Amino acid sequence: MIFSTHNPCKFAFSAEEEDLEKIDINDEQHWGIIGVPFDSTVSYHVGSRYGPIVVREGSYSFEYYNLPLKTEINTLFYDFGDLNTIPGNCQKTCDLLCETVTDLLNHNICPILIGGEHSMSEGALRAIALNSDNNTLNDVTIIHFDAHRDLIDNYLDEKYSHATVMRRAFELGPNEIIQIGIRSSSLEEEEFVYNHNNIITFHASNVRENIKPLIEYIKSINSKIYISIDMDVLDPSFAPSLGNPVPIGLSPDDILEILIALKDKEIIGFDVMETATDKLGDITAITASKFIYDFLSLMGIE
């Protein structure tokens, strides 16, 4: 089905290949995992190209029964392996990812990306836009967890970069971008946000002080939703192996509470990016894996 991937290992509890033949594209929503081992535009700490491997490995530390959420994983998902990336070429790799995610969407399978650097989210979002009625994201809200805005137009003479991904996403015309956990930004980005009323900010300090306004805002969303998690949204004490760690961030409990608030929404895509380590059992990788595990658990709760 997917011709631009290879499969080094699978996320725990993934369906078997023969189960794919049973999928009815007109039936209920299904999910497909794609690893994106790419980190060629990283400006500080490299290593997120190994993220898909170590995050998958971390998933084997969890049980089929999710005790905190009091549910088993009954969401049908399949791990399609890793994208065959083009090292050093961010735009062409995003193009290839766009084609691969389009293949998933044509089979009624929603994407889950494991990064890899955050730039790759653009490929999935572009595929969703191109497969819409008007080739935009105007009926999609992007919920963006990050320490950084990633809204700069051009970073180190590159339009496609981990630092520009949400600017490229904004150009796809989303209904709204909700940025959660922000605590680092450029003046250019602050001015851009000031001039666009469909970019909503919940700073890390505000979320830590009182998360209720954010939860209430999320519950009011009526559009489709794409969730993008840059692992540096977390405080480095919880996730030290990052491309660009920033102190005084959110906790894993904060992220879980927000995901729980989203469980009844129409989610059409999910990614967890910027796990930068090649060490099996790394706490950042296991935490990233837990976010995917919890998300899949929540998608099966009625």
Least confident span in 17-21, 72-76, 148-152, 284-288: 17-21
**How many other C-beta atoms are found inside a 10 Å radius of the C-beta of residue 131?**
15
**Residue 244 pLDDT level (bands cut at 50, 70, 90):** very high
pLDDT score of 3 more than 60: no
Q: What is the pLDDT at residue 85?
A: 94
Report the percent of the chain where pLDDT is more than 90: 83
Alpha carbons 275 and 254: distance in angstroms, whole number: 18
User: How high does pLDDT run on average in the chain?
Assistant: 93
Residue-wise pLDDT for 132-188, tens only, equals 999 999 999 999 999 999 999 998 888 888 999 999 999 999 999 999 999 999 999
At residue 6, the pLDDT reads 59
State residue 25's pLDDT score.
58
Domain locations along the chain: 5-17+29-299
* Residue that has been written with the tokens 């030290």 in this structure: 240
Q: Identify the DSSP state of 205.
A: H
Q: What is the mean pLDDT of residues 243-261?
A: 97
How would residue 62 be classed by pLDDT, with cut points 50, 70 and 90? very high
In angstroms, rounded to a whole number, what is the distance separating the alpha carbons of residues 147 and 149? 7
Q: Is pLDDT at 1 greater than 50 in this prediction?
A: no
Tell me whether residue 89 is exposed, middle or buried, using C-beta atoms within 10 angstroms of its C-beta: 0 to 12, 13 to 18, 19 or more. middle
Mean pLDDT of 106-112: 93
pLDDT at 82: 95
The better pLDDT of the pair 173, 302 is held by 173
Residue 122: its H or E element: helix 121-130
Q: Are 24 and 106 in contact (CB under 8 A)?
A: no
Does residue 5 have a pLDDT over 80?
no
In angstroms, rounded to a whole number, what is the distance separating the alpha carbons of residues 298 and 302? Answer: 9
pTM of the model: 0.95
Comparing CA positions, the residue from 273, 184, 190 lying closest to residue 227 is: 273
Check whether domain 5-17+29-299 has CATH 3.20.190.10, yes or no: no
Residue 259, pLDDT above cutoff 70: yes
The pLDDT value recorded for residue 7 is 64
Return the top range by mean pLDDT from 3-7, 157-161, 264-268.
264-268
- For the chain, report the end-to-end CA distance as a whole number of angstroms: 29
